Structure 1
């Protein structure tokens, strides 16, 4: 399976970078064709330019993110303020473009998906909050936004999964190792 992994954390020694390395090694061991993009290391500019926005209804746009032809997508990022980091939100804004991820429907109707070959998506995030606050109080806003607001409109056949590591600031090595073990099992099930 052709898979793209996106890492969105500014620190090279972060838990997110460690998890991205773990995921990459696991997917490669499973025989997948993996391309990794570290948005911070590449100096990705997240702001949608005025020119890009002005042309939004006059595609085509260049597929700079290499979304066409991928079958799997993995996003590894921290959840900050119960939202995506700005660099990842900007990557979505500048990559999931008309003519690349979707087409505008005639007459302003629903988007017409273009990423029909994308069948597996997994988001892996770290949070400072405990699980109960994310699930019960906040009601998993990042999960909902990614699944229903980003992936479903452009890749309606894609199976979406999310793995969250809560209370990341107080993580211990044994807890991280248990999470990586569970993550390996989930990757095997999701990307088989």
Structure 2
């Protein structure tokens, strides 16, 4: 299976980077082909310009990186997004990726009448979002309403018609022991070694 990973974290010593390595190891064990879109190393510009918005209306992206990502995502059978949760939401580059790539005429289409969208990345069979955060999961769920799940998996990928959506949220990253961090990474590797 061809798996595209969209990754966003600027610091190489981050737990997110360790998560990325574990996911890739697991995918390699399962002999999946991986394609890494590293938004930070790509210097991806997350800002929607007037030209981008004109492209949105015309369903024609103008950012060369968006056109490149589109070609790569057209080959994907599974999409994985990995990023930290900062102030209850995603970093700017992840938000910009959603704004500029999950775009009409690129990732989805919709009929002139009606509200149902049709996914355009036809090979994608599943979307997995992996996040890291320092909050406790129960606090994020009860007090902040699982904001990232609602905005990304429901508000973006459910609305645009992508099925088999999953969220893996690694909580309290700074508070837990090094041993527990390592166990989480081992479990992630095992999860993606079983991806079908």
1:101 to 104, 107, 111: 107
Relative contact order: is structure 1 or structure 2 higher (C-alpha 8 Å, sep ≥ 6)? 2
The answer to whether 1:25 aligns with 2:25 is yes
The equivalent residue for 1:162 is 167
1:111 to 89, 103, 117: 117
Mapped partners of 1:47, 1:3: distance in 2: 26
| Structure 1 residues 122 and 8: CA distance shift in structure 2, 3 A | same
Mapped partners of 2:146, 2:59: distance in 1: 33
Structure 1 residue 13 displacement after superposition: 1.2
| Structure 1 residues 22 and 176: CA distance shift in structure 2, 3 A | same
Q: Secondary structure at the match of 2:159?
A: helix
Structure 1 residue 91 displacement after superposition: 0.9
The equivalent residue for 1:148 is 154
The equivalent residue for 1:45 is 45
The equivalent residue for 1:63 is 67
Write out per-residue CA displacement over residues 97-127 of structure 1, whole angstroms, 9 at most, x where no aligned residue. Answer: 1111111321464323212321121111111
Mapped partners of 1:149, 1:187: distance in 2: 25
Deviating runs (4+, > 4 A) in structure 1? none
Task: Provide the aligned length of Structure 1 versus Structure 2.
Answer: 190
If the length of structure 1 is used for normalisation, what is the TM-score? 0.90
Mapped partners of 1:153, 1:99: distance in 2: 15
CA contact (8 A) 1:119 1:155 kept: no
Segments of 5+ residues of structure 2 without an aligned counterpart are none
